[in-house]
Structure 1
Amino acid sequence: MTDARRFDLLVFDWDGTLMDSAGAIVASVQAACRDLGLPEPSDEAARYVIGLGLSEALAVLVPQLPLHRRAELVERYRSHFLARYPGIALFEGARETIEALHAQGYRLAVATGKSRRGLSRALETTGLARYFHGSRCADECFSKPHPAMLHELLEEFGVEPGRALMIGDTVHDLQMARNAGVAALAVAYGAHPKPTLMALEPLACVDSLGELRRWLATHA
């Protein structure tokens, strides 16, 4: 690690940042609601909750659902998402980006709204598990935008907030970073539109993984 580097720890969101899964998440949420005879959320509404923990996301989308039926909705969502999972891929350039950053000596971590089981599956099937040094998931931490995921990762790696960067595609990622006192970089190719992300004043907002790599090479 050279003194010229600004950051020691790079924390990535997963869905919509490294994996092109936003469309499958939206379709799975809508299908689960149909299964239970609930109003189907719009694409925009379903995309907004991507990044939250699953229970928190569904509570936002269908607040009228009695608590005792929420587990049923979660089960239906997971069933639909797993059926779509074989067709979900990493964004083009994601693998090369992570491999390059790992080779450059950055410590890499994931902070995600996925469950631990879901993230473990994704890391295994993509072959990226060996590149990440740590991770936090929504079923073992407070959901974004609470800063717990980042606070725990900072403590685990002994990194000061000013030496970490959160990279994500949703306002939940950026708000979590702000709440933790960590810098944030937004990606505009995922779940949330660029103007919405820019309103939270990240260091930058990139439009592709190629642009992300170039930004990191110059600024990180």
Structure 2
Amino acid sequence: MKPRHELIIFDWDGTLMDSIAKIVRCFAAAFEDAGAPDPGEDAIRHIIGLGLGEAVTELLPEANATTRDQVVERYRQHFLHLDQTGMELFPGVRAGLEDLSAHGYLLAIATGKARRGLDRVLRDTGTAHLFCATRCADEAFSKPHPRMLEDILEQVGLEAGTALMVGDTTYDMQMARHAGMDRLAVTYGVHGRELLAEHDPLACLDSFTEVYEWLRRMGGVSSVTAVNS
């Protein structure tokens, strides 16, 4: 019997990879380089998940287009080249994804990252082969618009009712709802349980190990090796 959700679509930053601290640091450096006011860590954390342009607009609503463009370009430079801080997958992610894939789940990514950034982290982590489809914010409308999810569904030939979105932000939850898709929230990223719960996820989970166990229970995956890896 097929599991209820054949396709599991993951957000990347704050859901699969522990990259939040680096994102905050690179935004702060970009604001300084562009001579723009720094809105502070809490504000930066809140917009993680949006496309870069949309995030800067949210953070600097009074700035002119030139300043926003400078922040965008400086952020890219810091994140891709200047800040060499390593980023790790959250505990259990690699083994959990491998086990889910081995049990027949289709896995995909819908992320606020740009294509260049996603391809880089997929290469660095050696996980690209696990995903049948990926979609980035510079290839479609930014979250919470559902276009990324719609594109993935079209690519793999499935309906929204067979898919599940897993993410750490209200943007992920809203995107999934707009697409008519079930959603699973994780609380170890940037948005807290109370905010996430407002969007009626099937569950709010506190670690990727809990995500894996939840999927195992719901879909009948028998292996538990991943949670101990």
TM-score above 0.5, yes or no: yes
The equivalent of 1:122 in structure 2 is 121
Uncovered stretches (5+) of structure 2, i.e. residues with no partner: 220-229
Deviations 1:159-196 (A, max 9, x none): 11110000000000000000000000001111111111
Uncovered stretches (5+) of structure 1, i.e. residues with no partner: none
User: Where in structure 2 are the equivalents of 1:176-215 lying within 5 Å?
Assistant: 176-215=175-214
The equivalent of 1:163 in structure 2 is 162
Give, as a single letter, the amino acid of the residue that structure 2 aligns with 1:102.
S
Moved more, 205-214 or 36-45: 36-45
The equivalent of 2:57 in structure 1 is 59
- Give distance in 2, aligned partners of 1:7 and 1:85: 37
The equivalent of 1:149 in structure 2 is 148
User: Where in structure 2 are the equivalents of 1:1-220 lying within 5 Å?
Assistant: 2-3=1-2, 5-82=3-80, 83-220=82-219
Asked whether the 8 Å contact 2:91–2:209 carries over to 1, the reply is no
- Give distance in 2, aligned partners of 1:117 and 1:49: 20
Give, as a single letter, the amino acid of the residue that structure 2 aligns with 1:167.
V
Give, as a single letter, the amino acid of the residue that structure 2 aligns with 1:185.
L
SS in 2 for 1:87: coil
| Root-mean-square deviation over aligned CA pairs | 1.1
Once the two structures are TM-superposed, the CA of residue 69 in structure 1 deviates from its matched residue by 3.0
Once the two structures are TM-superposed, the CA of residue 85 in structure 1 deviates from its matched residue by 4.7
Deviations 1:190-211 (A, max 9, x none): 1111111112110001001111
- Give distance in 2, aligned partners of 1:100 and 1:177: 24
Report the TM-score, using the length of structure 2 for normalisation: 0.92
Moved more, 28-37 or 111-120: 28-37
The share of aligned pairs that are identical, in percent, is 52
SS in 2 for 1:41: coil
Once the two structures are TM-superposed, the CA of residue 133 in structure 1 deviates from its matched residue by 0.5
Report the TM-score, using the length of structure 1 for normalisation: 0.96
Deviations 1:39-72 (A, max 9, x none): 1112111011101000000010011221133221
Give, as a single letter, the amino acid of the residue that structure 2 aligns with 1:26.
V
Q: How many residues align?
A: 218
Give, as a single letter, the amino acid of the residue that structure 2 aligns with 1:174.
M
